[in-house]
Structure 1
Amino acid sequence: MSQTFTWNAGAVTLTFDYDDNDFVAMRSVRMGESEAVFEQRIPIVDVMTTGTGHRIACNKLTHTVIGSALRYRSHTATNDDERGRHTLTIALADPLHHLDVAVHYEVADSAPMVRTWVDVTNSGSDQPTILDSVTSWTSEFGAPAGQNADLDAWQLYESRFDWLAEGRWSSNKVRDLLPKFSQEITAVDSRQEYAKISTGTWSTGMVAPLGILESQRFGLTWVFQIEHNGAWRWEIHDDTTDGGVALSGPTSENHAWEKVLQSGETFTSVPASFALAGTFDGAITALTKYRRAFRLPHKDNAHPSVVFNDYMNTIYGDPTTAKELPLIKAAAEVGIEIFVIDCGWYDDTGNWWPSVGEWLPSKKRFPNGITEVIDAIRAEGMIPGIWIEPEVIGVQSPMADRLPDSAFFQRHGQRVVEQDRYLLDLRDDAARAHLDSVIDRLVKEYGIGYFKFDYNVSPGAGTDYQSDSDGDGLLGHNRAYSAWIDSLYQRYPDLIIENCSSGGMREDFAQLSRFQVQSTSDQQDWMLYPAIAAAAPMMMLPEQAASWAYPQSDMDTETTAFNINTTFLGRFFLSGYLNRMNEAQHTLVESGIKAYKAHVQPVIGQSTPFWPLGLPKWDDVVVALGLNTAQGDALITVWARDPFCSQSALRLPQFQGREVSVTPVFPTEKDGLEPWRTSWDAQSGILHVDVPVGEYASRTFAVSAR
C-alpha cells in the first residue's frame, strides 16, 4: 500500500511516497510560494556499481538497477534550534545487493534552499561493492499542481569558464538541447542527456558546477549546485513525460573513479544543493541567503576589508624592499586596510615558478629581511598579507627531496608533474605537517593576517597511491584539503584567506563556504574585466568577489574611474603603481575607496545581486551589475564599452510603480567627472541612462524609492 510523508523545514516542504514494492520518490517540492509537483516517479537516489549497471542501457547518472531496487526502511527528522538547522534522513535498503543507503536533506531557517548528500554502506556482503557513481540529488523538473510537465517550457542557464574569461553565462531552450525523439512509441525513456563535466581539481576550469532551469510559463525556477572542489558531473535528461536533473561528484566513466566498499564500509557522496523559486531573481535570492547561512562565520564577512595586492599590472612577482616600501606608503594614504605581498618573495633565482614550496623569504630581495616590509605594512595600520601556493612543490624546491614520495600525487609509482610542479597529497601526514609548519611560522614569526592561496596547476585524474582508483585518491585529497583549511581557522580564527586558482578556476562552494575572499580572474585588460566582475555574484557572495582594479599613472580620469568601478560592487581589490600617481590621480583613487567605505562596505554583506540588463555576455557593449540592499535601496554599476553607445534601459522591477531618486556614488562631480543623465519610467520600472559616446566609461549610482 502506498504511503506518503511530508517534511516541513523553515520555508521548505518536501513530500515523498513509497510502498513495500517500489522505491521512494519525491512527489512535490514547495519553497515559499513556489511548488513543483512531479507526475512521474523516479528514485530519490541512484547508485551505479560495476556489478549492477543501468536497468535501461544509457550514459545517464540515473536509471540504475540499485536506484529502483532500494526500499524504504525509515525516516528521521531532527532540529538544531541553536544553529537554526533542520535535517531529514531517509534510510533505504537493497537486501539483494547488500546495500544500505541514507539520503540526507538539510535546511537552514534563513534560506529556502536544501543541501543534500548520500551515504552508501556495504551492509554485509562477503564480496566487495564497487561503486561507479552515486548521485547527490536527482529530480524531475515538475510543474505547478494541475498542469502537465513539458520540456518545451524550460530554459537552461549554464556558464563556461576559461582562464582570463570566467563566468560566461548563456541560456538555451531545454528542447534545443534535448530534442524530441518520439521515444514514447518504444515505451522506453530516451537515452539522451546533456551533461557538464569537470575533471581534476580546477572545479570551474571549464564549466560551472551550478545551473538554473527557468520556466516563465510555469512560474518556476530551479537553481542547483555541486559543492565540491574536485571532479563533478551534472546532467539534464529526457524522461519522456518530463525532464530530469542529476548531480554527482566523480564517476567511473568520466573521472577514473571507483570506490571499493568492503563489508561494513561506507562512502559519502559530495554535497549538493537545490532551490525552487517563482522567478530567476527569486532563485538568486534563495541562493545568496543559502551561501550566507552555510559559510564559515567570520568577522570579515559582514564588513569586508579593502585589499591592495602588489601583483596585477604592477610588480608581477618581482617584489623587493625598494619596490614595496613606496607602494605601502601610497596604499595607506588612500585608505587600504590589507596589503598583500604576492608571489616571488621567497625566490633567489629570478625564476619563482619552479622553486615554490619551502616558503622562506629571499635574502636578495629583502636585504634587511622581509620583516622590514611587513613591519612597514603594520606601522601604516594595515594587515600584512602574503601569497603562497600551498598545494604544490616546485621541482627545483629543496622540499622536493625532503618530503617523502607519499606526500605527493603519484601514478604507477611515479610522482605526477605538471608545469614544473609536484602536487602535494593532503591525505599524507608529512604533507600536512609541512604546510602547518609554514603557516605557523608565517603567522607567528611574521605576523601575517591574510593569505592569498593560489593554485596554478591541476593533477589530472588523481593519484593511485593507497587508493582504489585515481579518482578515489583525488577525492580523498580534496576532502583532506578542506579539512586542513578548517584546521587553520581552529588555530587562527581571525585569519583572512583568499581563494585564488589562476584567477577563478575553483569557484565552488566547498571552498567559497570556507574563504572570505575569492579571486574572480587573472584578466589584465581593464576593458574586458567588467563582464567577469558583473557575472561573479552568480558563483559567490558579492562581498567575496575580488575583481581587480589596477589604475595607473598614465590613465586619464575616466579610465581610472572605470577601473575602480570594476571592483566597486564586490570586495574592493586594488593594485597599480599608486606611488607613481600625481596628486589628482592619487586623490581620485582615495575618493573611490572613501565612496566604497561609505556606501558599499556597510551594506554589501546583506545585499543580493541582480542584473538590470540581464547576465552579461562577453562582448556586450554595456554591462551592468546591481545590488539590492537590506534597506530597500539599490546600488548599480554601469560600464560602457563601445564608442557608439548612447542609451541603456535598466530594468528595475523592484521599484516599479514608485518614484525614485537616483544619486551618483562614484565618480561624482567633485571627482571631476560629469554625472550621467537618467530618466525614470515608473510605469515600466525602467531607468534610462544616457551613456557617453566615444569612450570607455563607468558610473555607480544609488537608486532609492521616494
Structure 2
Amino acid sequence: MTRLYEYQIYGVNALFERNDQQRIRLLHLSSAPLPNADNMLEQRKQASVLVELQLTGFNSPGHKGTRLSNTLPGTELTFQQIVQQENQLIITQTYEQSCSLTVTTYMQFFASIRVVKVWNEITNTGTEPFGIEYISSLNIVGLNNDGSSLPYTANHVYLPHNSWTGENQWRKYSLPELGLLYALDGEKLQDSTKVISVSNNSSWSCSQFAPIGIVENDHTGMATFWQLESNGAWHWELTDAALGKELALRLSGPTELHNQWWKNVLPGASFTTIPVAFGAIPGGWQAAIWELTRYRRAIRRPNEDNQQLPIIFNDYMNCLSGDPTTAKELPLIDAAAAAGCEYFVIDCGWYSDGYWWDNVGEWQPSQQRFPGGLIEVIDYIQSKGMIAGLWLEIEVMGINSKLAASLPDDWFFMRHGKRIIDHSRYHLDFRNPKVRDYATSVVQRLVQEYGIGYIKMDYNITTGIGTDQHSDSMGDGLLEHNRAYLQWLDRMFTLYPQLVIENCGSGGMRHDYQMLARHSIQSITDQTEYIRNGAIAAACAANVTPEQAAIWSYPLREGDHEEVIFNMVNTMLLRIHQSGHLGELTEDRLLLVKQAIDVYKNIRKHIPTGRPVWLTGIPLIDDEWFSFGIETPDRLYLAVWRTESLNDHFSVHDPAKSIQSVIQLYPNPAEDKNTSYHVHGNTIHFEFKQNKIARLYEISTTPHQV
C-alpha cells in the first residue's frame, strides 16, 4: 500500500510517496504548503522519480529523444528508508537485479533559509563494475504547480547569459519562445521531445551561462530557482512531464550525452554527484535572488575579507596592463595610498623580462623589471600601510616554459596521447600529487619569502572537454581534476587563513559556488569600457553576493569629473577594485577618487548583510538608464546611471516601502550642477542633464524585516 512522508524543515515543505511497488517519489519540495497528494495526477506521481539514473547496457524506455528522463535503473530503484538527522533528510534506495547498487540522497536544510542543498551518492554493492551515463542531483516534477489549473506555459524562465566582458546578462523568456509548447499532441497524451537545457563543457564553469536559473509563474507569483555547484561541467534541463501536463526540472553534473562524461564504478566504490541548491518561494524572481544570496552567505567559508571589505588597488586595468616595473610602480603606490587603498596588487608580468604569455610556470621575479628585487617594491607597499599582493595563474604552464619541457606528461591534461594546448598554454592536472606539491611550494614562497597577503588567482584558458589520461572518460578526468583543485584550495586556506585569494577567470568565467564557497572575492569582468562596466556591475549581485563582487574603477588619463564619478559609482555598492593611472590624474579628479573611497568606508559595513535590489529591473549592457541598490532594514543605498539617452528623466519606484528622505552621498551635492531629484510618494524622479552620469544616494525608508 502507498505511504506518504511529510516534512516541514526551516520553512521548506517536502512530500514523498512510497507506492505499492516500493518506489519512492518526490511530490513536493517548496515553501508552499504541502499539497493534497490524492488530488495529484497519477502520471505526475509516476514521473516524480527521486533519482534519474542511466547505466550502460540498460534499456532506455520511452519515446523521449535526448531528454534525461524515464531512465533505468532510475525508475526501478527500491525504496529502503528516509532518515531525518538534524538538518538533513537521507533517503536510501537499492537495486538488486543485473547489478547491485545503493543510491543515497542527501537533502540539507538551512535555518531560516528556504533553500535545499541536494546531492546523491551511488555505491556498487555487487561483484561486477557498472558504467554510469547519467545520474541526476535532483529531479523534480510540477514546478510552481500545487493545485493550479493553469498550464505550465504560464511560467517564464530567466537565464543568466555570460560572456567574456559581457557577464551577468539576465533575460526573460516564455516557455513557448524557447520551443516548449503545452499539450503538443493531446490525443496521444505523451511527453514531447523538446528540451530547454543549458550545458557547460570545460573548466570555465560560466563560459556561456552562469549555473543558475529561475522559473517564475506570473499568475501565482511563485518562483522556482536553482544553482548548480560545479567548477567545471554541468547540465540542467526543463521539459514537460506527466503526459505533457507538468513542468519538470533535472539538475546534474556532467553527462555522457552532453559532456563526454562516463564513470566506471568498481565493486565497493562510490561516486558522488555535484551538489545543487533548489528553492521554490512566493515573491517572484527578486525574492528568489534574495534567498540565493542568503544561502550563498551561509555556505561560504567564514573570513574577515567579506566582513571588512578592504579597498584593493590593482595595477592592471587601463593602467600598466601586464608591464610592471619598479619605476612605474612606485608613483602608483604613492597615489593608491593617498587615495585610501588598503591592498596593492602587482598584476601579471612580474615574473618575466618581456613577453610572458607562453613561458609562464616558474613564477620567479624578473630582475630586469625590478633591479632592486621585487621585495623592494613589496617593502615600499608595506611602508605605505598597504598589504601587498601578486598575480598568479597556477593551473597553467606556457608551451615555451623550460620547466614544462622538463616535466613528464602526467603533469598535464592529455587527449589521444598528446598534451592539450589552449592559447599557447598547457593545463596542469591537479589529480597528480606532484602538481599539487609544486603549486603549494609556489604559494608558500610568495607568502613566506615576500610577505604577500593577497593573490589574484587568474585562469585564462580552459581544459576543453577533459583528459583521457588515467580516467574512465574525458569528462571524468575533468571532474576529478576540478575536485582535486578544490581540495588543494582548501589546504591553502588552512595553511594561510588570512591570505586573500581572488577568484578570476578572465574576469567572470568561473564564478560558481564551488569556487566562491572558498574564495572571498570574485573578479566580475574584464570589461575595459567604463560605461558598459556600469551595467555589468549593476547586474552582478544576482550571480555573486555583493561583498564578493569585485568591480574595476579605472579613471582615465584624459577624462573629466563625470568620467571619474561614473567609474567610482560602478564599484561603491560592491567591492572596489581600484586601478587607473592615479598618479597622473589632476588634483581635482584624484580628489573625486578619494572622496568616493571615503564614502565607501562609511557605508561598506552594510554591504555584507544588505540585500541586493533592482527596483527598475536587472540591467543589460547598453541600457540607457538603470539602477541598483543595497537594502538594509531602514536604508536603501541606491546607484543610478545614465549612459546614452535622449531622455533626461528617470524614475525609481519602491512599491513596498515609504520613502522618508533622500541624500546624495556621492559626489558632494554642493558641487553638483548636473543632476537633481524630487520625491513624490514612493517614487524618486531623477533629472540627469547629460549622458554618462552616475550618482549614489542614501534613502531612508520605513523599517522592515530583512
Task: Give the TM-score category using the shorter length.
Answer: over 0.9
Q: Which amino acid aligns with 1:295?
A: R
Distance apart, 1:328 and its partner CA: 0.5
CA distance in 2, matches of 1:676, 1:89: 58
Whether the 8 Å contact between 1:36 and 1:144 is mirrored in structure 2 is no
CA distance in 2, matches of 1:216, 1:686: 24
Distance apart, 1:659 and its partner CA: 3.9
* 1:235 matches 2:234: no
Residue equivalent to 1:82: none
Whether the 8 Å contact between 2:15 and 2:34 is mirrored in structure 1 is no
* 1:614 matches 2:613: no
Residue equivalent to 1:157: 158
Q: Deviations over 1:129-149 (max 9, x none)?
A: 111111111112444544235
* 1:360 matches 2:364: yes
The match for 2:686 among 684, 689, 696 is 689
The match for 1:649 among 644, 648, 651 is 651
Q: 1:455 to 1:201 in 2, by over 3 A?
A: same
Q: Deviations over 1:93-137 (max 9, x none)?
A: 1222422101111112142211110111222042x2111111111
Residue equivalent to 1:590: 594
CA distance in 2, matches of 1:408, 1:643: 51
Distance apart, 1:532 and its partner CA: 0.9
Residue equivalent to 1:570: 574
Q: Deviations over 1:179-208 (max 9, x none)?
A: 235334223221211111111011111112
Q: 1:53 to 1:196 in 2, by over 3 A?
A: farther
Residue equivalent to 1:83: none
1:272-421 alignment runs, 5 A limit: 272-279=276-283, 280-348=285-353, 350-421=354-425
Distance apart, 1:675 and its partner CA: 6.9
Residue equivalent to 1:66: 73
Residue equivalent to 2:699: 703
Q: Which amino acid aligns with 1:679?
A: H
Q: Which amino acid aligns with 1:506?
A: R
Residue equivalent to 2:438: 434
CA distance in 2, matches of 1:69, 1:544: 44
Residue equivalent to 2:58: 52
Q: Which amino acid aligns with 2:60?
A: H
Residue equivalent to 1:445: 449
Helix, strand or coil at the partner of 1:439? helix
Q: 1:639 to 1:141 in 2, by over 3 A?
A: farther
TM-score (normalised: structure 2): 0.95
Q: Which amino acid aligns with 2:95?
A: D
Q: Which amino acid aligns with 1:623?
A: F
The match for 2:260 among 256, 261, 271 is 256
1:176-215 alignment runs, 5 A limit: 176-177=177-178, 178-180=180-182, 182-215=184-217
CA distance in 2, matches of 1:150, 1:53: 31
CA distance in 2, matches of 1:416, 1:121: 32
Q: Deviations over 1:220-252 (max 9, x none)?
A: 001101100001111111111111111111110
Whether the 8 Å contact between 2:636 and 2:701 is mirrored in structure 1 is no
Q: 1:191 to 1:370 in 2, by over 3 A?
A: same
* 1:170 matches 2:176: no
CA distance in 2, matches of 1:281, 1:471: 34
CA distance in 1, matches of 2:669, 2:618: 29
CA distance in 2, matches of 1:371, 1:102: 53
Q: Which amino acid aligns with 2:160?
A: S
Q: 1:100 to 1:541 in 2, by over 3 A?
A: same
Distance apart, 1:705 and its partner CA: 2.0
Residue equivalent to 2:7: 7
1:109-188 alignment runs, 5 A limit: 109-126=111-128, 128-143=129-144, 145-148=146-149, 150-177=151-178, 178-180=180-182, 182-188=184-190
Q: 1:361 to 1:70 in 2, by over 3 A?
A: same
Residue equivalent to 2:89: 88
Distance apart, 1:216 and its partner CA: 2.3
TM-score (normalised: structure 1): 0.95
List 4+ stretches of structure 1 deviating above 6 A: 32-38
Whether the 8 Å contact between 1:142 and 1:149 is mirrored in structure 2 is no
Q: CA RMSD in A?
A: 1.7
CA distance in 2, matches of 1:604, 1:578: 26
CA distance in 2, matches of 1:447, 1:33: 55
CA distance in 1, matches of 2:325, 2:142: 57
CA distance in 1, matches of 2:435, 2:415: 17
Whether the 8 Å contact between 1:153 and 1:218 is mirrored in structure 2 is no
Distance apart, 1:53 and its partner CA: 4.7
Q: Give the percent of matched residue pairs that are identical in Structure 1 and Structure 2.
A: 36
CA distance in 1, matches of 2:36, 2:319: 52
Q: Which amino acid aligns with 1:698?
A: A
Q: Deviations over 1:527-578 (max 9, x none)?
A: 2111211111111000111111101232111111001111111101110001
CA distance in 1, matches of 2:6, 2:548: 36
Q: Deviations over 1:508-536 (max 9, x none)?
A: 11111111110111110112111211111
CA distance in 2, matches of 1:220, 1:565: 33
Q: Deviations over 1:652-674 (max 9, x none)?
A: 1231xx2421111111225x323
Residue equivalent to 2:83: 76
Whether the 8 Å contact between 1:633 and 1:703 is mirrored in structure 2 is yes
Q: 1:412 to 1:218 in 2, by over 3 A?
A: same
Larger displacement relative to structure 2 (66-75 or 33-42): 33-42
Helix, strand or coil at the partner of 1:353? coil
Q: Deviations over 1:20-74 (max 9, x none)?
A: 4053122223427798986512101101122125322421122212221012101
Helix, strand or coil at the partner of 2:656? helix
The match for 2:605 among 602, 607, 611 is 602
Gaps of 5+ in 2: none
Q: 1:515 to 1:321 in 2, by over 3 A?
A: same
Q: Which amino acid aligns with 1:101?
A: V
Q: Which amino acid aligns with 2:606?
A: V
The match for 1:102 among 88, 101, 104 is 104
Distance apart, 1:692 and its partner CA: 2.3
The match for 1:549 among 543, 553, 560 is 553
Whether the 8 Å contact between 1:222 and 1:275 is mirrored in structure 2 is yes
CA distance in 1, matches of 2:450, 2:36: 55
Q: Deviations over 1:578-636 (max 9, x none)?
A: 1111211111100000011112x11100011111111112221012111112x331111
